[in-house]
Structure 1
Amino acid sequence: MRPILLLAACAAVLTGCAGTETAVRVRAAPGFNPGEHTYAFAESLQGVVDPDAARWEAAVAGRLAQVGFVAAPAPSAHYRVALSHDTHPASVAVLDAHCAETSPCGAPPPLRAPGFPWPGMKTYAHSLTLRFFDRDDGREVYAVSATKRDREPRAAVAIDALVASALARVPFQRETLREASGANENRATEWKVTLREGDRNAEPRVSGVSPMPR
């Protein structure tokens, strides 16, 4: 029995946690999301070339449709949605309970040797930010950012996980924000989203959403 348990432990180390964890940060204005749920994507900045832009927008549009939003022509859309994403190398800290904040879930901290990059040990941070602007006055009424860390340098592989995380709830509930005075009701909140990978070509499924411990 002992060899079997040791084998299982080794497999757990190699594969990491059963689910993928992401960190989500939210900022919402009072009254976001009442009534009409039409939207249009904001135009990209001139001169910015993003080869994956169509994939990002398609993934976001698909998820927004699932939560009740309808695409509409820009002049009549209730919200303008600005989409941005980023991928960059990230340092890895000692692994703790907050997988999404420090390193890939279940991944041991890398051995460090000055001047020698260990193959496959580099960590990358992928992020997606969605900002909703009200058509009437142009103010930002909702912003959400999702972050995922892994060993993959390509941003495209993180699209589905980041979109599913950022739009796991629209809006994310803000009860944990509210203090007795109500003075900080609009400050940002942080959440941990757990995803389960679906079958091949299937979108990841959200299996858990919980506030980040303070």
Structure 2
Amino acid sequence: MVKSILICAALAAATLSGCTGLNADVHTSIPAAALQGERTYTIARTPSQDASADHPQFEAVLRDELAKHGFADASAQQAHYLLSIAYATRPATVGVDAADCAAGACGRPAEPPFSLFGERAYQHLLTLRFFERANGHEVYKVSAMSSDRDADPLHAMPTLVKSALANFPFGAPADWRVKLRADQAGGVPDVVSVKPVVQ
């Protein structure tokens, strides 16, 4: 009886800690070769993002990761690129029919970690679009999608950002699977592997 209780407790702890690892599906729909200009950008916000209390935290994570890839935040007049950010969190059981979702990921999302308690699964989606400021041409687009048992989009942001920029800029093929390891301090996770998805 005691042994059974200890086993159940260990399984519950493993489930809650997420030690099964993190996965995200990444899709690019515009070739990376088009992203060749000076690596300066400014973020173009929607009115809802301007009004959101969460959005500044999301941008802070994104700016830190972009800096690691040599991108510098600049004024709207000096930036080479305008960066558009779109993200959403929804119950994973709801079907999605959206142009921005990753190919192959819309119908069959990456499975969230196993749960002993049957919590609802949620699907998190991030899309980054780079436009040349001078002419408005879209030159790069990448989407990242993950699933877990947490409805809070803030908790998914580090995983989505790290995945979308894991092999930045992604080249061919268009679809990739990123495996990550959670940061023990609760920060941005570490990338374990980046592999093309075999269709």
TM-score between both structures, scaled by the size of structure 1: 0.74
Larger radius of gyration between Structure 1 and Structure 2:
1
Name the one with the larger helix percent: 2
The structure 1 residue matched to 2:43, chosen from 41, 44, 56, is 41
Gaps (5+ residues) in structure 2?
A: 95-104
- Could you say if the C-alpha distance between residues 212 and 17 of structure 1 is closer, same or farther in structure 2, counting changes exceeding 3 Å? farther
Task: List gaps (5 residues or longer) in structure 1.
Answer: 93-97, 111-118, 177-188
Instruction: State the AA in 2 paired with 1:26.
Output: T
Q: Tell me, in whole angstroms, the C-alpha distance in 1 between the residues paired with 2:36 and 2:110.
A: 36
Structure 2: how far apart are the matches of 1:21 and 1:47?
26
Q: CA deviation at 1:32?
A: 2.2
Determine the C-alpha separation between the residues in 2 that align with 1:28 and 1:49: 30
Distance 1:50 1:36, change over 3 A: same
* Aligned match of 1:21: 23
Paired residue for 1:104?
A: 112
Q: Does 1:193 align with 2:178?
A: yes
Q: What secondary structure, in the 3-state scheme, does the structure 2 residue paired with 1:143 have?
A: strand
CA contact (8 A) 1:194 1:208 kept: yes
Percent identical pairs in the alignment equals: 36
Deviation at 1:76, TM superposition (A): 1.3
SS in 2 for 1:153: coil
What is the TM-score normalised by the length of structure 2?
A: 0.79
Superposition CA RMSD, Å? 3.0
Residue of 56, 62, 65 corresponding to 1:63 = 65
1:48 & 1:42 partners in 2: Cα distance?
A: 10
Give the total of aligned pairs. Answer: 181
Q: Deviations over 1:33-92 (max 9, x none)?
A: 324100000132368632211011111100000011011111111110001110111119
Q: Which amino acid aligns with 2:193?
A: G
Listed as ranges, the matches of 1:64-143 within 5 Å are: 64-91=66-93, 101-105=109-113, 107=114, 120-143=118-141
